[in-house]
Amino acid sequence: MGDKDMDNKELDDSYEFACRLDQQDRLARFREEFYIPKGKIYLDGNSLGLLSKRSEASLLELLDSWKQFGIDGWTEGNHPWYHLSEQLGRKLAPLVGACPEEVIVTGSTTTNLHQMVATFYQPQGNRTKILADELTFPSDIYALQSQLKLKGYSPDTHLIRVKSRDGRFLDEERIIEAMTGEVALAVLPSVLYRSGQILDMRRLAKAAHARGVLIGFDLCHSVGAILHELSAWEADFAVWCNYKYLNSGPGSVGALYVNKKHIGRFPGLAGWFSSAKHKQFDMEHVLAPAEAAGAYQIGTPHILSAAPLIGSLQMFEEAGMENLRKKSLDMTRYMMKLIMKERQHMRVEIGNPLEDHRRSGHIYLEHKEAARICRALKANGVIPDFRAPNGIRLAPVPLYNTYKEVWEAVQILRRIMEEEQYKQFKNERGVIA
């Protein structure tokens, strides 16, 4: 099933075919590593990944190190807490195409974005504006607005948001055109959280630097789903969470990347763990920053929230990101073909890119009754994700979802739409979409 062949002539839409695909799946063994909700088809791993047995074990191991060592847990045990953020940064680096010293596990997406903007946004002369886009996740806009206000600028005049032509996708040409001599910093998503469009980060970074603009990316919807080469692309910085495709648990510790050419730049928000490790407990009132991405930590690491990542990253190392990406593309392509074959019954529009190189790890469907369709899916045992105003996200995650589940989910969606089961529910989102 090639990415250019989106017709249904070659599609075997039988249940038996889905089962055969599962039998041929070289990653199938990893499903046994996860706690799958009983009787559910979980397709919301792009919002919160499932718990694995290895993550549970690594969390319990670090909890035990607190029980066993007390304060000496900072330097004792299999995973001494004092160096845990750096240790995890080294393991994460291959997933984003970075050098080990360029990545640190710390903070949350938004606190890390505040740190990066405070560090890299240095308005001078005519270059006083920040470039973003109108489709990015709201919290990124909140952070950028806050940083502009702290520098004495109005977000109304100094935050540029590149427009989308259709409300689904962004045009890289438009973004590059907006990189004028007034722009000091660009902050863009690697993947659009609704449509799943992958932006051409290499092209955007090259264009930004040619125009004197620093550029950073929010990788929340791409880490663990697609391949990255941040160092080769020369992105200046990136931030992300680890609880979606990386399955590190609700509210787990995030991460950031700083290109090695910027290591040594003083952190905009200096703190206790910004310090070089060998100097930190000298207790001096002059900060000596770490000579790595660790300089952009702020407070004490959240050890128990970082612990599940130890177990999760072991599986990514074993599975291989190339293999995971291939299966992800195969699954989303298969799901789209099934949906398109049933489109006369579905009455939903596919709002994600059809091409493999532009599509991330989830399918995005649009329907004016999307909220109540999501409620109906949940009532039928399928866990989707609603995104206002009219979006249904379905993410078959390669570590734990199966082709059989993809097939079953599409049949359930067809039945819901054919029988208009969704009309039993209110067309409004829940507290958590």
Known binding-site residues for pyridoxal 5'-phosphate equal 109-110, 137-140, 218, 221, 243, 272, 300
- The answer to whether 106 and 301 have CB atoms below 8 angstroms apart is yes
What is the rounded distance in angstroms from the CA atom of residue 219 to the CA atom of residue 120? 18
Beta partners for 41?
A: 382
What is the rounded distance in angstroms from the CA atom of residue 242 to the CA atom of residue 87? 15
Element (H, E) at 214: strand 214-218
**Residue among 266, 256, 229, 246 at smallest CA distance from 120:** 266
Vertex 373, ends 369 and 377: CA angle to 5°? 175
For tokens 């990189």, the residue is: 179
Q: Is 184 helix (H, G, I), strand (E, B) or coil?
A: strand
DSSP 296-362: G--S---HHHHHHHHHHHHHHHHH-HHHHHHHHHHHHHHHHHHHHHTHHHH--EE-S-SSGGGB-S-
Annotated binding site: 109-110, 137-140, 218, 221, 243, 272, 300
What is the rounded distance in angstroms from the CA atom of residue 301 to the CA atom of residue 83? 10
What is the rounded distance in angstroms from the CA atom of residue 201 to the CA atom of residue 190? 7
Beta partners for 185?
A: 130, 214
